[in-house]
A and B are shown apart, each in its own frame.
Chain A
Amino acid sequence: MSVIFGLAAVIAFVGALGVVLSERTIYSAMSLVLNMVALAVLFLLLDAQFIAAVQIIVYAGAVMVLFVFIIALLSPGAEERLRSVELRLLLGGVGAVAFTLLIGRLTLNGITVGANGRLHGALGPFSPVAVNAHGQVQTLGDQLFTTYLLPFEVTSLLLLVAAVGAVYLSRRRRQLA
Chain B
Amino acid sequence: MSGLFPGFLILSAAMFATGAAGVLVRRNPIVVFMCIELMLNSANLALVTYARYTHTMAGQVFALIVIAVAASEVVVGLALITGVYRSGRRLDLDELSEMSE
Contacts and interface: CB of A to CB of B under 8 A. Distances in A.
A in complex with B: yes
A173 to B, nearest CB: 8
A104 B10 contact: yes
Contact of B68 (A17, A104, A148, A155): A155
B11 interface: yes
- For the residues of A in contact with B, the DSSP-based class is helix
Given A63-B71, A118-B53, A144-B61, A70 B76 contact: no
Chain A, interface residues (CB within 8 Å), range:
35 or more
Contacts of B75: 66, 162-163, 165-166
18 contacts: A19-B35, A20-B31, A36-B41, A42-B11, A51-B44, A58-B67, A62-B71, A67-B30, A70-B81, A75-B91, A92-B24, A104-B13, A143-B58, A151-B65, A152-B65, A162-B75, A166-B79, A170-B83
Given A74-B30, A119-B5, A126-B51, 15 more contacts: A17-B18, A20-B35, A74-B82, A79-B28, A80-B27, A88-B24, A95-B17, A95-B24, A103-B17, A114-B2, A116-B2, A155-B68, A159-B71, A162-B71, A169-B83
Interface of B: 1-11, 13-22, 24-28, 30-31, 33-35, 37-38, 41, 44-45, 48-49, 51-58, 60-65, 67-76, 78-83, 85, 90-92
